[in-house]
């Protein structure tokens, strides 16, 4: 019998912390979850503005091929049949994403894969020979050495100019010519009329929002909000036998080896007194002049196909801006380049020496996780804890 107040302390009420806490609680363990924000659900959090669930930390679309994870989430929410079909807006011209026959029809008026492939191939060949001759090498010897060359060699000039260039430059804050080629290994091109962004067996949005789903996952678990582990680290370290830590791994070690880097975003959210702004949940702005990368219109995540938006006379939109990360900003995407991965490995060595503390989730493991992956990892963590 443990002398400590709790068997487990979960630091962070995001999906990872919530799922581990749920499993432990279900197994009869005494669990406390502390969360430094004023809300649960981490970055999947949805806040309600006048009947519309707003994805405060960016568009979150649940998609998975993992049947076990799908069954798990369906135990806590009913999912609607939302399919992510973003649009691109290039200087007012609207194109379908991901690149597929609908995009090619909109761009060139073609109806068959053969016509589309012929245009892409012709553009690629022409651009590649120009780039090779500029560099003074033969076509066979030419290897793309920046992102612009790489993207053109994959999809030709029109798609690159209208749908890749401006968007990527805004995302990275640098010209494609100055970005390394490896950032774009593949640019998936579909030769079918299919606007479904994800290749996933299961996809949807929890009706009522993610926050409600996580509330249900955490039912019966003690949760303390606005409680930062680092404010009273000694107290929290002594409160439970084991700690599941889902905050940034470098912060846990007081950044003693240096800071891990992230890419961050900034959102400007606005309520508009009109029923419908852009007729779609996600629109990417792919020109370089528009300062934001995307606009999300939140109501379209949760309303059905026949819904014209008029039942709710207002709408809420968020403009998404890319922003260079500096210490103190919200960490969104880990920069898994060589330098940061090496630093992470060194933190991982420290973490492995830390007794009874388990690091998990996107910040604890310094890796990009989709929601289904983070749930799978959390279920795996709980299972391995039971075996100890």
Ligand X SMILES: Cc1cc2nc3c(=O)[nH]c(=O)nc-3n(C[C@H](O)[C@H](O)[C@H](O)COP(=O)(O)OP(=O)(O)OC[C@H]3O[C@@H](n4cnc5c(N)ncnc54)[C@H](O)[C@@H]3O)c2cc1C
321 is catalytic: no
Determine if 361 is a binding residue for ligand X (CB under 6 A). yes
254: left (phi over 0), alpha (psi -120 to 50) or beta: left
CA distance readout (Å), 346 to 253, 256, 260, 341, 342? 11, 11, 11, 9, 7
Task: Tell me whether strands 315-323 and 202-204 are parallel, antiparallel or unpaired.
Answer: unpaired
Among 10, 24, 32, 44, binds ligand X (CB under 6 A): 44
What are the beta bridge partners of residue 296? 282, 318
Of 13-21, 142-150, 162-170, 206-214: span binding ligand X (CB under 6 A):
13-21
309: left (phi over 0), alpha (psi -120 to 50) or beta: left
The token duo for 56 is: 């405060």
Determine if 113 is a binding residue for ligand X (CB under 6 A). no
Binding mask 304-343 for ligand X (x = CB under 6 A): ----------------------------x-----------
Subset of residues 189 to 228 that bind ligand X, contact rule: CB under 6 A:
228
Subset of residues 235 to 254 that bind ligand X, contact rule: CB under 6 A:
246-247
Subset of residues 143 to 172 that bind ligand X, contact rule: CB under 6 A:
none
What are the beta bridge partners of residue 32? 9, 222
- Give the number of C-alpha atoms closer than 13 A to the C-alpha of residue 330, restricted to the C-beta side: 14
Determine if 363 is a binding residue for ligand X (CB under 6 A). yes
Subset of residues 260 to 279 that bind ligand X, contact rule: CB under 6 A:
265
Of 57-65, 148-156, 185-193, 204-212: span binding ligand X (CB under 6 A):
57-65
4: left (phi over 0), alpha (psi -120 to 50) or beta: beta
CA 199 to centroid of chain Cα atoms: 16
CB of 320 to ligand X, least distance (A): 8
Q: Which of the following is catalytic: 245, 262, 287, 294?
A: 294
Contacts of 377 (CB under 8 A, 6+ apart): 16, 360, 361, 365, 369
Q: Which of the following is catalytic: 37, 190, 319, 367?
A: 190
Q: Which of the following is catalytic: 148, 149, 287, 320?
A: 320
CB of 11 to ligand X, least distance (A): 5
> Which of 156/331 has CB closer to ligand X?
331
> Which of 230/386 has CB closer to ligand X?
230
145 is catalytic: no
What are the beta bridge partners of residue 56? none
Of 41-49, 148-156, 180-188, 350-358: span binding ligand X (CB under 6 A):
41-49
**How many chain residues bind ligand X (CB under 6 A)?**
35
Q: Which of the following is catalytic: 141, 186, 254, 388?
A: 186
Q: What is the DSSP string of 298-367?
A: GGGGTS-TT--STTSS-EEEEEEEEE---TTSPP-EE--SHHHHHHHHHHHHHHHHSTTEEE-HHHHTTS
Of 117-125, 132-140, 288-296, 363-371: span binding ligand X (CB under 6 A):
363-371
CB of 116 to ligand X, least distance (A): 28
Q: Could you give the angle at which helices 113-135 and 101-108 cross, rounded to 10 degrees?
A: 70
Q: What is the DSSP string of 247-314?
A: S-HHHHTTTTT-PPPEEEEEEEEEEESSS-SSSSSEEEE-SSSSS-SEEEEGGGGTS-TT--STTSS-
- The whole-angstrom separation of Cα 274 and Cα 21 is 41
Of 30-38, 96-104, 111-119, 171-179: span binding ligand X (CB under 6 A):
30-38
- The whole-angstrom separation of Cα 238 and Cα 324 is 37
263 is catalytic: yes
Among 6, 8, 10, 13, binds ligand X (CB under 6 A): 13
Looking up tokens 């798609």, which residue turns up?
Answer: 159
CB of 381 to ligand X, least distance (A): 11
Of 86-94, 109-117, 131-139, 366-374: span binding ligand X (CB under 6 A):
366-374
Residues with a known catalytic role: 186, 190, 263, 294, 320, 368, 370
Q: Which residues bind ligand X (CB under 6 A)?
A: 11-17, 34-37, 42-44, 57-62, 228-230, 246-247, 265, 332, 361-363, 369-372, 374
């Amino acid at each position: 019998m443990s002398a400590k107040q709790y068997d487990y302390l979960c630091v962070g009420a995001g999906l990872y912390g919530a799922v581990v806490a749920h499993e432990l609680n279900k197994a009869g363990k005494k669990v406390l979850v502390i969360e430094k924000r004023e809300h649960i659900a981490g970055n999947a959090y949805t806040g309600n503005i006048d009947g519309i669930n707003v994805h405060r930390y960016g568009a979150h679309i649940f998609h998975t091929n993992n049947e076990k994870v799908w069954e798990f989430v369906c135990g806590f929410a009913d999912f609607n049949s939302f399919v992510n079909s973003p649009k691109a807006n290039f200087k007012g011209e609207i194109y379908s994403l991901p690149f597929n026959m609908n995009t090619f029809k909109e761009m060139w008026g073609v109806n068959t894969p053969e016509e589309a492939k012929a245009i892409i191939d012709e553009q690629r060949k022409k651009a590649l020979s120009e780039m090779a001759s500029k560099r003074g090498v033969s076509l066979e010897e030419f290897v793309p050495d920046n992102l612009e060359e790489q993207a053109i060699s994959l999809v030709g000039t029109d798609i690159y100019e209208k749908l890749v260039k401006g968007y990527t430059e805004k995302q990275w804050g640098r010209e494609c010519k100055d970005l390394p080629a490896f950032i774009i290994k593949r640019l998936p091109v579909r030769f079918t009329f299919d606007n479904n962004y994800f290749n996933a067996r299961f996809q949807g949005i929890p009706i009522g929002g993610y926050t409600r789903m996580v509330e249900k996952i955490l039912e019966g678990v003690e949760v303390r909000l606005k409680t930062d582990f680092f404010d009273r680290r000694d107290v929290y370290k002594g409160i439970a036998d084991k700690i599941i830590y889902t905050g940034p791994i470098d912060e846990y070690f007081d950044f003693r080896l240096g800071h891990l880097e992230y890419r961050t975003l900034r959102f400007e959210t606005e309520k508009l007194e009109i029923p419908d702004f852009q007729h779609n949940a996600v629109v990417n702005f792919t020109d370089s002049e528009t300062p934001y990368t995307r606009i999300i219109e939140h109501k379209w995540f949760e309303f059905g196909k026949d819904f014209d938006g008029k039942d709710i006379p207002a709408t809420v939109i968020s403009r998404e801006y890319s922003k260079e990360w500096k210490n103190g900003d919200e960490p969104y995407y880990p920069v898994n380049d060589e330098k940061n991965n090496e630093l992470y490995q060194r933190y991982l060595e420290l973490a492995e020496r830390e007794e009874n503390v388990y690091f998990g989730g996107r910040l604890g493991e310094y890796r990009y996780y989709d929601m289904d992956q983070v749930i799978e990892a959390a279920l795996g963590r709980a299972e391995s804890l039971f075996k100890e």
